[in-house]
Amino acid sequence: MTAPAETRKFEAEVAQVLHLVTHSLYSHKEIFLRELISNASDACDKLRFESIAKPELMAGDSELHIDVSWDPDARTVTIRDNGVGMNRDEVVANIGTIASSGTKRFLEAMSGEQKADARLIGQFGVGFYSAFVVADKVTVITRRADAPASDGVKWESDGKGEYSLEQVEQAERGTSVILHLKTDEDEFLKRWQLRSLITKYSDHVAFPIRMPVEKDGKPTDEWETINAASALWTKPKSEISDEDYQSFYKSLGHDFNDALAWTHNRVEGSQSFTTLLYIPSQPPFDLMMGGRDERKGLKLYIKRVFIMDAAEELLPNYLRFVRGVVDADDLPLNVSREILQQNRQLERIKSACVKRVLDLIEKLAKDEPEKFATFYKAFGNTLKEGISEDANNRERIAKLLRFASTMGDGSAQTVSFDDYIGRMPVGQGTIWFITADSYAAALGSPQLEAFKAKGIEVLLMSDRIDEWMLGSLSEYSGKKLQNVAKGELPLDEADKKKQEESAKEAEPLVKKLKELLGDRVGDVRVSARLTDSPSCLALADYEMAPHLARLLREAGHDMPDNKPTLEINPQHALLKRVEAETDEAKAKDLATLLLEQAEIAAGAQLPDPSAFVQRMNRVLLG
């Protein structure tokens, strides 16, 4: 029974995407052809995979291809594939509604002052809508490969809020997307223009892209293949130019920018496979918007048959920014995600991919410092996740990390652990660091004063992930990593004796401060860290830094209410003032301000900011 034709409204989010795309991408309008050909290629890939289990799906038409044609009289451009096609429900799900969170993610990326950007289109799976940049009406005619000819579906819309659906007779499987061009888009009715765009954006699509041969300015019934139509990664490296690699990357990653670097390898032996892996030059938008929960992964092929997009099992999470393909010879063609998760052969491929990526990053660090700096700015924080996630490669990853330093070049993160160790004076066995909310907060921390006075270098770590990462990195190259704010400082005999004398002399002051502060502190002690400031906080070895505890608390996490240890500099004028103050109320105000300024410097959140302001005013007024 034929389903009646009907008119439906686009979901609100789709209507928003259509508005953004049609009004903002005029400077990159040729993107429509790349995206529609990419969709057609995916449809062919899916059919080839499904036909492994159901060979009858390819019956009568086994040569998969994509046809691009134009009609100057009707003012149409048609992109047709003989791939898997769609049924009615799939048409509604893939075009009229949100098939995944991609549309919402796209809108989130476009929020605020961000302008619609052509780079976002394919990355969020909304490439079809780019057709409306050049067309005032789009018609889709499709039939799924396993459906009868009577179950064809016709979808049509002007992109202004509604679309029509109709069941039609469709003899051939696959999908035709017919663009009815706007009046000012005549350039796309010229064969040379369409061909140049296909060569520019889609030359490395692995299926033949055909166009009608032109005669006397008109298209004929004869078809000509105009792309390379071969899997780039299967060619010898000597036959592939840098331009070829970059062109393939842009098609693969839906990116207008060049890749930063790539590695192409063929492994032969008991297990044979090919990898072609790219590092983007800047974070892909899906990485930034989706983060760890929406990974793209690598494309997995088996004997050049596409198996799945975003095969997350091929790379660990901390390398999720890598784009590329893996083509294996030794996995079963009917492999599923469940089988992948438990496949030992895949574990070997994954290990090889990790090795190749880390080799590539190390090569950048050694031979191309400018490119490495670009990489680290874009992906350094993502790479740091590997310290916790990949114990086998922890030392390799740590070697690639860079930080600001008290002996570095300002806030630039250029100092490696090896640089630090190379500058260590004889007898120093510890890599000292401090974590803070920002570079300025780290550099200005009172806990650095003794280190600056002694000329000891300290790494300044101000990225939010640093504190978490350091929970899994207690040493590097045999050197212990130590937070300057934690534990007791190692002192030589002379300093130790001086510290003991100072502590003994200040015992009455320490006792007074403990009484004045009561349960606001866990302990008060004389500091070996301070030379100029009156006070600072000291942390226990396994205590979380106050700035991170504050962030987690703001994010809704329950955090233990640790009472801080206050360290004081008894030689400072403010401590002398506390010591001499006989008015208990004034002494309590001074003591509390000493604690609160130490908490602020450490990035902690004051329990009562208004009380702090009132207290400060009382002290200022005398």
Q: pLDDT digit string (tens) for 40-95?
A: 998 998 999 899 889 999 988 889 999 999 999 999 999 999 999 999 999 988 88
pLDDT of 195-249, one tens digit each? 999 988 888 888 999 999 998 888 999 999 998 877 889 999 999 999 999 988 9
What pLDDT is stored for residue 53 in this prediction? 85
What pLDDT is stored for residue 35 in this prediction? 84
pLDDT of 254-297, one tens digit each? 777 899 999 999 998 878 999 999 999 988 755 544 444 444 67
Determine the average pLDDT of the residues in 93-118. 52
What pLDDT is stored for residue 310 in this prediction? 65
Tokens linked to 274 = 């090919």
Is residue 177 pLDDT above 50, yes or no? yes
Separation between Cα atoms, residue 374 and residue 395, nearest integer Å? 22
Determine the average pLDDT of the residues in 307-320. 82
Is residue 519 pLDDT above 60, yes or no? yes
For the chain, give the mean pLDDT: 86
Length of the chain: 622
Is residue 97 pLDDT above 70, yes or no? no
- Looking up tokens 């502190």, which residue turns up? 521
Band of pLDDT at residue 609, cut at 50, 70 and 90: very high
What pLDDT is stored for residue 151 in this prediction? 95
Determine the average pLDDT of the residues in 111-139. 65
Separation between Cα atoms, residue 210 and residue 103, nearest integer Å? 31
pLDDT of 556-578, one tens digit each? 777 677 788 999 999 999 999 99
Is residue 121 pLDDT above 70, yes or no? no
What pLDDT is stored for residue 101 in this prediction? 39
Q: Which helix (H) or strand (E) holds 147?
A: none
What pLDDT is stored for residue 112 in this prediction? 46
- Looking up tokens 């060979």, which residue turns up? 55
By CB atoms closer than 10 A (0-12, 13-18, 19+), residue 425 is: exposed
Pairwise pLDDT comparison (144 vs 306), residue with the higher score: 144
- The Cβ-side half-sphere exposure at 204, using a 13 Å CA radius, reads 20
User: What's the pTM value of the predicted model, to 2 decimals?
Assistant: 0.76
* Residue 288, helix vs strand vs coil: helix
What strand order describes the sheet that includes 535-538? 523-526, 565-568, 535-538
pLDDT of 463-509, one tens digit each? 989 988 998 999 999 999 999 988 777 777 888 898 899 999 999 99
Pairwise pLDDT comparison (394 vs 302), residue with the higher score: 394
Band of pLDDT at residue 122, cut at 50, 70 and 90: very low
Determine the average pLDDT of the residues in 515-540. 92
pLDDT of 438-452, one tens digit each? 999 999 999 999 999
Is residue 582 pLDDT above 80, yes or no? yes
Band of pLDDT at residue 116, cut at 50, 70 and 90: very low
Band of pLDDT at residue 414, cut at 50, 70 and 90: very high
Determine the average pLDDT of the residues in 365-380. 96
Q: Which helix (H) or strand (E) holds 311?
A: strand 305-311
Band of pLDDT at residue 367, cut at 50, 70 and 90: very high
What pLDDT is stored for residue 72 in this prediction? 92
Is residue 2 pLDDT above 90, yes or no? no
DSSP symbols for 109-146:
HT-TTPPP-HHHHHHTT-GGGGGGGTEEEEEEEEE-TT
pLDDT of 326-351, one tens digit each? 998 877 655 555 555 567 788 888 99
Is residue 119 pLDDT above 70, yes or no? no
Cβ burial 153-178 (10 Å sphere, 16+ → b, else e): bbbbbebeeebebbbeebebbbbbbb
What pLDDT is stored for residue 333 in this prediction? 59
Is residue 100 pLDDT above 60, yes or no? no
What pLDDT is stored for residue 397 in this prediction? 98
Is residue 584 pLDDT above 50, yes or no? yes
Band of pLDDT at residue 126, cut at 50, 70 and 90: low
DSSP symbols for 532-591:
SSSEEEEB-TTPPPHHHHHHHHHTT-----PPPEEEE-TTSHHHHHHHH---HHHHHHHH
Is residue 17 pLDDT above 80, yes or no? no
Pairwise pLDDT comparison (191 vs 312), residue with the higher score: 191
Determine the average pLDDT of the residues in 295-324. 81
What pLDDT is stored for residue 341 in this prediction? 56
